[in-house]
Amino acid sequence: MRLGLVGVAVAALLVGAGCGGDDEARPLIAAGKTAVVRGELVPDVHTFGDAVVARVEVVLDRAKVDPDDVRVSTNFDPYEKVGATRVDRDDLGGFTTLRYTTTLRCLSQLCIPRTVRGQTTVSQIPGVPPILPGQARDEKAKYQFEPATVVAEAGRKDTTLGRVVWPPLRSLSRINWYDSNVVGQGFPFVADVTPVSEPDYRISPTVLGLGLLAGALALLAIPGFLLWDRRRRNVASAVEPGTALNPLERALRLVEWASGRPSVDERREALEALAYELDADERAARARERGWSPPAPEPAEMTKLVASVREDSDAATS
């Protein structure tokens, strides 16, 4: 019984010691270091054509390195990048974590597993064993990418923060060469010379193309017609002769126009022109009297004078 109580007490002390300690958070970077660099490939084994994600994580001390100056140099040949590399940033105290995520994919022949001797056999020989000696194709291809380098740009000389040594990446073939159902020797893709049947269309491409072309020409014809019609109207109005006015009628219209003008001089000159056309007539004396006698000629008087002159002219004509 005593031994049991002693054991419980010792366990309680150990648990208390484990739960206690310094309340200060542990630094993300060991003392004396500027940055910590890690990387991974997910997954590191994939089938041909599948996407692979390459991640680089950089934890740095902002007191020593500006996160905006950090650059990551990578070379994933023969794999190609799918889209742009995504960069995520997290700040915690005086430290910053940068995560670079790049999606990779390889669809070229360089990522197709080769035959053991590098040969490619395309013959289709019935009755021949599935794998000929020396022509068996590998089930996988192995790639070792160049290490990624993380640097901080600092003027003329960059500072290397760390490197990422990538694990081997293996690409598996989607074809099981030891499967008796696989047809062919070494190269599974079979060409067929049978012509492809003609596709069916709801509307013939030729008819559709001609219709669209006709519609485009019709749309161009509308503004062209409107422009031509406007120019035709302008030319017709420019060359169309107007009704010839006799000197007296021109003088009367000048008085009508001047009656609406604010300038007194223009009114007087218009009345003088009318008096000149009326010559020695009594109406000429009235025109000069209204034009030059004070006060200034009023529009109402000028209009009344024009009306009386026209009445007299019409009566004389009739």
Reduced 3-state DSSP string for 146-206: CCEEEEECCCCCCEEEEEECCCCEEEECCCCCCCCCCCCCCCCCCCCCCCCCCCCCCCCHH
pLDDT of residue 269: 86
Identify the band that residue 116 occupies on the pLDDT scale cut at 50, 70 and 90: low
Tell me the pLDDT tens digit for each residue of 227-257: 888 888 877 665 555 567 788 788 888 888 8
Taking the C-alpha atoms of residue 134 and residue 299, their distance in angstroms, rounded to an integer, is: 118
pLDDT averaged over every residue in the chain: 77
Q: Which of 47-61, 108-122, 207-221, 289-303 has the lowest mean pLDDT?
A: 108-122
Higher pLDDT, 249 or 317: 249
- pLDDT tens for 21-72 read 444 455 667 777 889 999 999 999 988 889 999 999 999 998 888 999 999 9
How high is the pLDDT of residue 120? 43
Q: Closest Cα to residue 54, out of 37, 41, 71?
A: 41
Q: Is residue 231 a contact partner of residue 253, using CB atoms and an 8 Å limit?
A: no
Q: Can you give the pLDDT at residue 261?
A: 82
Q: Which residue has the tokens 């997954």?
A: 43
The whole-model pTM stands at: 0.46
More confident residue, 12 or 144: 144
Per-residue pLDDT for 126 more than 80? Answer: no
Is the alpha carbon torsion for 55, 59, 63, 64 positive or negative?
negative
pLDDT for the residue numbered 249? 83
